[in-house]
Structures are given as structure tokens and as C-alpha cells.
Amino acid sequence: MAAVYKKKYPIQMPDGAEIITRRGKTIARWTNGKGQERTAELLDDGRVQFVSDCWYIRYTDASGKMKRASIHCLRHTFATLLARNGVSPATAQKLMRHSPSTSLRAVSLSNGDIRLTMNIYTHLDLADTASAVAALPAI
């Protein structure tokens, strides 16, 4: 059985943090380097309990070993498996929910751009390219 969670870990009190009470809990509030307001529960030792923005999944692999992956990593895996199994780029784009209505600033490609799905999300290796060449007709 897999568990979905956000990572929590203690960090030093950030510079410029103010201590406030919210809903009966003592928390620290500060602005990070990106200008985003952050809050975290204050611990007894003066540090704060920081909660990651990313969602993770914890699961047991076939050998019984506990593993962890981010939900975003699973999106990349899904896209790669689609490409390896011959799903057309347009179909993969739809399945990945890449629509033209929003944009991905980090790579300056619109989500409707097929290159986002095929270049950013799929990760093919040498074996994939070798099988594609082997599928070519003999010359």
C-alpha cells in the first residue's frame, strides 16, 4: 500500500520571522527569497517544523524495499512509458493534460506546445533509440 504525504522537517528560525498565534498554535511567519509568505509551527527547541511544497509517495518495491518518489517524478515516468509504448505525441500531450490555456514559464514553452510533452517529460534511453533504429527496413 502506498502513502501520499508532504515531507516535514525542522529548520532554524528564518531571519526576519515573526512569531504569531493562529488558531491557538504558535507559528512563525516570514517571507522567503522569492517573496512568498511562509508559515511553520514553532517547535519547543526554537526551530520551526517546515512542510515541503511537494507531494511524495512512499511505497514498497518488488524486493520489499521502501522507496519514495515525488508525484511530479511519477508524471515524468508516465510520459516516458507512453513514449516507449508507441503512444502518439498528440495523445501523450492530451493524457498529460498539457493544454494551450496555461504556460510553463521555466522553459518558456506553452503547455499546448507538443515539445513540452516530448522534450521535458519523456526520458528515453539508448535502448529505446536502438529499438527504433532496428525497426527501420533494411536498405
**Segment 86-136, tens digit of pLDDT:** 888 777 777 887 664 443 444 444 445 666 666 666 766 666 666 665 766
Residue 50 within a domain: yes
What's the domain range around 101? 71-132
Residue 36 within a domain: yes
Q: Mean pLDDT over residues 43-69, rounded?
A: 91
Q: Are residues 76 and 39 in the same domain?
A: no
Q: Are residues 86 and 46 in the same domain?
A: no
Burial class of 99 by CB neighbour count within 10 A (0 to 12, 13 to 18, 19+):
exposed
pLDDT band at residue 82, thresholds of 50, 70 and 90? confident
Q: How far apart are the first and last CA of the chain?
A: 51
pLDDT band at residue 64, thresholds of 50, 70 and 90? very high
Q: Are residues 85 and 50 in the same domain?
A: no
**Segment 8-40, tens digit of pLDDT:** 989 999 999 999 998 998 999 999 888 999 999
Residue 126 within a domain: yes
Confidence (pLDDT) at 105: 43
Q: Please state whether the predicted TM-score (pTM) of the whole model is above 0.75.
A: no
Q: Which three cell numbers stand for residue 124?
A: 528515453
Q: Are residues 125 and 85 in the same domain?
A: yes
Average of per-residue pLDDT values in the chain: 79
Q: How far is CA 87 from CA 19, 71, 94, 130, in A?
A: 53, 22, 11, 18
